[in-house]
Structure 1
C-alpha cells in the first residue's frame, strides 16, 4: 500500500506508545541522546522520498499527551527524519483531539478510498488491522483527516512551542 497508492497516504496516530518503537535499535540510540535524522538507507525514508519525488504525499497527525510519554517523545525526535524525507507530520495535544472529537484509534487512509484501522493491546503491540473500502467508513476517515489536519501543528512548530514537560 505504501508504494502503490496514487496520491495520498494519511495516518492518525493515537497511541501513547508503540511496541515496534520500543523494540527497535533506534529506541536505545534515542535513549543515549543520539539525533535520529534522515537516513536515505532506511527503507521508510527511502520510500517516502521516492513517493514524494513522484508527486505523492505522505501525511500524518500524531496525538500527543501533555506531558508527552516517552514513546511520544521518541516519535517527536525520530519523526524529524521522516519530515526530512518528505513526510508532512503534524501534532495535536490529546486534550484538543478529545475536544474536537477525534477517535482514539489509529488508521491509515489511502487516496481517500481505502481505510486501514489498527488494533493494539495495552502495551502498543499491533494485534491486527481491518481494511475497508466501504464508502461510509472512508467518508468518515476523510472527515477525521480534515478535522485533525486543520487543528494540528507542523512538527517543527509544535516542538518549538511545546517542551517535553509541557
Structure 2
C-alpha cells in the first residue's frame, strides 16, 4: 500500500471540491464513532437529530448552498451492527444538512462485487481511500488520480448508487429493535 497520509492532509477537499463529494462506507463500525460523545448520547437514547449542527453539517449546508453535492452509500448488514445503527441515527442530521445518504444491504453489495473499502471520490477525478485496523481505527488515507483507479471508483459509485435506498425509506424497513 502507498504511504499513508493523515486524514488532516485531505480535509481541505471537503470545501475545495467543485461539484461532487461521494463516499462508499462499508465498515461494520468505526472506532471514532465509539469514542465520540455523540455515541454516548445515542446509547443513552438521546435524539441525535435534535442536536445543534456540528462542523461537518455546517460545511455540508454551506457547500450544498453553493450548488455542490455530498452523497454517500452506506453498506449495512442484516441485521445492522451496533455501529451501523448508530450511523443510521446520526446520519439523519447529515441528511437534514443536505447530504444525500443512501443505504445498501451487504448481500446486494457482495452480489454487485463492491469492494469492502471506504473511499471518497471527489469530482470524479480524485480518490481518497481509507486504511483501517481490524478494530475500525483509521490508520490514514491514500490518494490517487490514476485513471484506472478513478474509473473503478466511478463504476463502484454508479452501481452502488443505483441499488441503494434513501435513508428515510431504509430506516422504515429496519426493525426498531435491530
TM-score w.r.t. structure 1 length?
0.97
User: Runs of 5+ in structure 1 lacking a partner?
Assistant: none
CA change 1:143–1:43 in 2 (3 A) is same
Match of 2:49 in 1: 37
Q: CA deviation at 1:37?
A: 1.3
Q: 2:76 aligns with which of 58, 64, 81?
A: 64
Q: 1:136 aligns with which of 148, 154, 170?
A: 148
Structure 1: how far apart are the matches of 2:157 and 2:26?
13
Match of 1:154 in 2: 166
Q: CA deviation at 1:51?
A: 0.3
Structure 2: how far apart are the matches of 1:165 and 1:125?
27
RMSD: 1.2
Structure 2: how far apart are the matches of 1:38 and 1:54?
25
CA change 1:40–1:155 in 2 (3 A) is same
Q: How does 1:8-157 map to 2 (within 5 A)?
A: 8-37=20-49, 39=51, 41-157=53-169
Extract structure 1 runs of 4+ deviating beyond 2 A.
38-41
Q: What SS is found at the alignment partner of 2:161? A: helix
Structure 2: how far apart are the matches of 1:128 and 1:11?
16
Match of 2:8 in 1: none
How far does the alpha carbon of each residue in 1:61-95 deviate from its partner, in whole angstroms, 9 at most, with x for none? 00000111110000000000000000000001111
Q: CA deviation at 1:162?
A: 2.1
Structure 2: how far apart are the matches of 1:124 and 1:148?
22
User: Runs of 5+ in structure 2 lacking a partner?
Assistant: 1-12
How far does the alpha carbon of each residue in 1:109-132 deviate from its partner, in whole angstroms, 9 at most, with x for none? 000000001110111000111100
TM-score w.r.t. structure 2 length?
0.90
CA change 1:164–1:130 in 2 (3 A) is farther
Structure 2: how far apart are the matches of 1:30 and 1:122?
23
Task: Report the count of equivalent residues.
Answer: 166
CA change 1:38–1:3 in 2 (3 A) is farther
